[in-house]
Structure 1
């Protein structure tokens, strides 16, 4: 009965297909594991060179001492920080990228040449001074936030109204961010505003962002890198990407963010408004491996259908073990692709892995069926499948449409080839056992 029931054979093949989901999931786990190992290697390099950098400031902070009159005339004093953001902030950054290796893994690093200019208006601070509140002008300080201090290579210029400032390590307050340095300017209250300028060189990895603390914030970034990604809260107003370099400019107004130009202590967080650039590796082999393995179950299903059609149309019955061996070869394609792509380009890896699998399954089909035509048919079908998958990965935006059309064409072809089959008697034509 086993060899006479095509429905039973189809049921066994379906169960086998479900079991094959287990090795597919295992290979997916392997891809994620290798991806995580790559991230760990990149993190090790970045921790020594400089991690993703975020620039905040300059922000002028003025301590304000308040007198609190209690019962029985007892006075207590409290000091609060009043943060004043610049009216204009102009940052220009030139990124000099390089790729460092840790074993087989690569990390994108950069050296950033920064030029920062800002104008700070503090005339409104006089309104905060009265008999119970004193503005401590002599204790005012500037905060310049840099997220990873290990990356600071030099600060060649730091000026306040043309006078040199001396940067001091650490922050007087963590109201504005976790890391950075401090400078103590001499404030001329009569001027009511001052100009700030800074030239610095910092190391970082993959990303650089700026917090738009200016009433008007302008950022200009350029680099000899061909694969930038614009990240953060705002997109550039202009950009130019060529096969050798890119440049981009932003303009952000104070109305575009959700905090004012002046506030007390920790009333507001500015980090969420940061924006900037991520330097992408031109080819992320792990992302492509993850995308390709999503089609593994479909590949196995199509090959099973091809063998079943061969069984029905030619009377050559295949054992479930033979189905299993073929499906294992299809799953190993993804493991082979992953291991090769860590050493050579993804396209070359894909070609080599698909050639190995197509050749192996074609020769095995010839051996178990004894027919060159069947072997050529299976080999041709596999070649079309791998070519189709490669095309899907290249056309990411059109992958769903192309995949849906492809599946419909396959279904229509199966319907055409089996249109005259008597399914009630199809299994009785086979002489061999399943």
Structure 2
């Protein structure tokens, strides 16, 4: 050991003298040609520093790839976010259209089965599919508008106005089938034949609607409320002969207005001016009552009455006299009845047409009144009350001969129609 008097210089001088080394930073090659390993940490650090690129070197730096994936990830997340936002906007605003294009449509809500409690719905004249669907939803017959309306678009059915028996909580299919089934249509039908009087029409209408005859009589007391001519003594002749269907709950006045409107329609279709309605109807009703079942005779009877009016000559229709006495079941009259001028319908005692129609005239009688066939006749008489065969005559002598034929037929046939 060194004693206490030994200095630091002596200690360091006592270490082996190092071999001369190359210039600083140089490294001696190993004897096998490989670079010699650094002999100390200082040399290792120095060697590492030499291998680092010079930050000021003119060579361009290569990008560091270890952080590149972060940028791509951020960009991808931004794109996905924008796409999600766009998809969300489209879905919120155009969900129905998207579902339709993609085939993802949700079936509309619908009940199942044929329903529960029976009910009725009204299809009004002019109602289209939209109105009918809303009516069904409002009555809880179907669960949703779309369920029923989609069926209408697919099948394009036709509906008829009226009251229909259906049920609550029906499937759309069952509801449509029910409306298309004629058996479910609630009908109050009335058939009025040509030639029927107003009182006969009241009986028919009352049976169909269950409205008392008295209500029809009261409703018809003032004929002007229905728009008929002011000179019309009553609604006689203005209740058009046809088949009618009435909905439950109708009133006597609404029923009568329906028939009057139908008469106006027939006259309008025939080209009759409103001012001529009463005259034409009066002539047509007379023809309807006097002519038989043979179509051609309507136009001949019209010619007889037209010739008489133009002559002038009283019409002398037994049917008018009988109507004025209150009888509509026969045309036979007595001499006293034919002489009664107080009967405003009596065309024996009074000139011209009767005061108004004596029954319901149909389209054929209206057409005959407007278009009498050419002919010289002033008289006619049926000679067979079963077949309606009628003889038309130009002179009174010819007419008397035809009357004898009728009398003979009555004697031999003993027909009750001759009484």
- More helix, by proportion: 2
Tell me the TM-score normalised to structure 2 length.
Answer: 0.23
- More strand, by proportion: 1
Q: Which has the higher contact order (CA 8 A, sep 6+)?
A: 1
Higher Cα Rg: structure 1 or 2? 2
